Every structure is written in C-alpha cells, then in structure tokens.
Amino acid sequence: MKLTHINKDNNPVMVDVSLKDVSSRIAVASGEISISKEAFDMIVNNSIKKGPVIDTAIIAAIMGSKKTSELIPMCHPLPLSKVECNVEYKIDKDSKIYSIVLSVTAKCESKTGVEMEALSGVSIGLLTIYDMLKAVDKSMVISNIQLISKSGGKSGDYQRY
C-alpha cells in the first residue's frame, strides 16, 4: 500500500486534492472522560469556580475543529459549514464510574474529508474538561476517541455501529 503523505523520494507531502470533486462531507467522532463523583456533581450543579465546564468544552470543541489544519501537519484547511456538539452524562452505579461523552459532528463542502476536524474537536473539548476540573480530580481518564461515521467523498461512507 502506498502512503499518500510520502512522495517518491520518501519525503512528507500534503496530498494534492486539486483534481477531486467537491462534495458534501460529514464526520461524527466521540470520546469520553471518566471523572470522580465529586467532579461529576460539580459539573451537574455548575459549581466549578472556573465557570460553566460543559459550555466551555463545547466552545473549545468548535474552536478545535476550526483549528485542525494548524495542529495536524498534513491536514488541508477546510471551510467548515457546521460544527455541532452533543454531551451525554453517564453513571455506572455498579462500578461507580462517572463520565461525560462528547460527540462532535463536522460538516463541509470540500474536496477532502472532515474526519480530523471532528476528532480534533472531541480531543480539545475533552482536554478542556480536564483543564477545568484538574484542581478537583487529577485521576481523570480521557478515552475512546473514535470516528463514529463519515459520509461523502471517493472512499464512501463509514459507520462504526
């Protein structure tokens, strides 16, 4: 298999998408952060001194999606038409695990996909939650960052579940 980001001289290159057709592209990614019950309760009760954790994480996720090409070396800058975030609170009372699942949907009309924008958004959003709660809980774990689905483009659709 030929790697697309390596040229014939084995040097890194940005993929040439100039001959590809513009199409509607959508990607959904998600990830999770496990936190202590104390931190979870503080989020739910909006009692974190740094401010509204979830609102801040959503804004950070949107900003992270928009800045992807500045963070990932070979990503093309994309004209995002929409970034939407969804937050789910999870409690497993048997194992006493409290977590927040962040999903990011990124959409654009472009010649290349938006998977990295959705994944970057999730990562930055979860890191923001960590940053805002680190004084309360240093044992937090960020996990399961993954592409859930994508549509559009030459490689076709993908659905994890």
Q: Structure tokens of 161?
A: 């579940």
Burial 47-62 (b: 16+ CB within 10 A, else e): ebeeeebbebbbebbb
Q: Are 61 and 122 in contact (CB under 8 A)?
A: yes
Q: Are 126 and 138 in contact (CB under 8 A)?
A: no
Query: Length of the chain, please?
Result: 161
From the candidates 9, 21, 92, 131, give the one annotated as an active-site residue. 131
Is 131 among the residues known to form the active site?
yes
Residues known to be catalytic: 131
